[in-house]
Chains A and B, each alone.
Chain A
Amino acid sequence: MDIDLARRGQFESVVDVVYEPLQRYFARRTQPADVSELLNDALLVIWRRLDQLPADDPLPWSYGVAKRCLANHRRGSQRRLRLVGKMIERAPRDSVALGTPMAEFDNPRLEAALAELDESDRELIRLWAWEQLEPREIAVVLDMTPNAVSLRLTRAKKTIVSSMERQNVAAAGQEGLGHRREPRP
């Protein structure tokens, strides 16, 4: 009984830390209607694997659990649709919504730059910018080495910056052309 109480107490402490971040994690990556079910799945795995959870920093490990739940969910959704005979096209890997930006913010060049990344690099960027994780924490989520995460993250950031610079130059060129085409008085 004491062990059960201790386990419950440990789980409740972990849930206090991960409950809201996991909802945001799922909401960023799937349909709103699926968030609650995915949250249940992730919390169930955390409850069952509580003894494997790093007590000092449970969030990255919990994101790793969430990542697997989400992957299973996506495969299951596709599979269930196939089972009922619907013709579906496999969703492109890069079809995950980049999100609805804050109302007052519009940055189509940044969105275009993100769209140029492959999905695995885009997920690194999401974990860094949206989940606010550092490379060593992303490494826990993705089961990679921190060094590999750092290298790929740096490369992805450079790709984004280069893409935005390229778009800026192209836009400036368009504006220049526009000026030259103006009729002279």
Chain B
Amino acid sequence: MNEELRDQLGRLDPMHPGVPVESAATTSSRARMEQIMNTPLIDKEDSLTTSIPQSSTIGERRRRNWMLLGGVAAAAVIAVGGAVIVGNRGGDGDTQIAAGPPLELSLGDSGVMSSCIMFDVAFLANMSPAFAGTATSVDGEVVTLTVDRWYAGGDAASVVLSGAAGSPALIDGFEFVAGQQYLITAAEGTVNFCGYSGPATPELTAAFEAAFAG
């Protein structure tokens, strides 16, 4: 039954082996790979000062997405519980942590960054809110962090991250673990991924320090 069923199901495959796809050996595939391999790596020191290649089609697409994000973000940085300073940008130093309701951010609707812009500290500097926080609880789709430091855009003592229905607290290759520190940025109430949020590695911490240095 097993292999017969598998075979029958395979015949419903719209991309069965008879359907051609682009080979990795074509010129355009090689160009795509070359472009990706020229992408700055977040864990390399020189990525902090590397800008997006102007001739990159990937870069252009990502820049457009970022501009879309920027356009709406300017009008729509969401203040939840009155704890967010709207429109705050990097470069104005740390914000004090205040008592008050927690800031609520979404993990699930991260599509705004679905097409990853290449990591660039200049972009990071414009992200708000941005903070360092330690995960105090990870409960299914809900992660609660105690804020250790605000870099921009808030003063709440804690932040609650909520995933979309059915999604675990595991996105963009990292998992939230209680007790671990994270560096988080968000736009429009949604956490940015693609390297702009993640565990507080020395590299990401250095990037946040560089981006939000007074």
Contacts and interface: CB of A to CB of B under 8 A. Distances in A.
A11 B33 contact: yes
B37 A24 contact: no
Interface residues of B, number: 49
Interface in A75-116: 75-80, 83, 97-102, 105, 107, 110-111, 114
Contact of B115 (A16, A37, A65, A125): A37
A104 to B, nearest CB: 9
Contact of B170 (A12, A83, A143): A143
A99 B111 contact: no
Contact of A48 (B5, B13, B39): B39
Contacts of A102: 11-13, 16, 18
Interface string A37-69: 101110111011100100000000000010011
Interface stretch (B20-28, B78-86, B123-131): B20-28
B111 A72 contact: yes
A110 B9 contact: yes
Most-contacted residue by chain B among A110, A125, A130 (CB, 10 A): A130
A75 B111 contact: yes
A115 to B, nearest CB: 11
B74 to A, nearest CB: 13
A129 interface: yes
Contact of B68 (A24, A80, A101, A105): A80
A24 B168 CA distance: 25
Interface string B104-116: 0000111111111
Contacts, number: 142
B100 interface: no
A28 interface: yes
Interface string B1-44: 11001101111111110110111100001001100110101100
Contacts of B5: 129, 157, 160-161
B111 to A, nearest CB: 3
Given A19-B29, A78-B111, A100-B14, A44 B116 contact: yes
Interface in B51-102: 58, 61, 68, 72
Given A80-B111, A111-B12, A20 B164 contact: no
B144 to A, nearest CB: 22
Given A75-B108, A129-B13, A27 B173 contact: no
A130 B15 contact: yes
B65 to A, nearest CB: 9
Given A8-B37, A77-B114, A97-B14, 18 more contacts: A11-B36, A20-B21, A28-B14, A44-B116, A45-B173, A47-B37, A68-B172, A71-B167, A72-B114, A74-B111, A80-B68, A102-B16, A111-B12, A128-B6, A128-B9, A129-B5, A157-B2, A160-B5
Interface of B: 1-2, 5-6, 8-16, 18-19, 21-24, 29, 32-33, 36-37, 39, 41-42, 58, 61, 68, 72, 108-116, 164, 167-168, 170-173, 193, 195
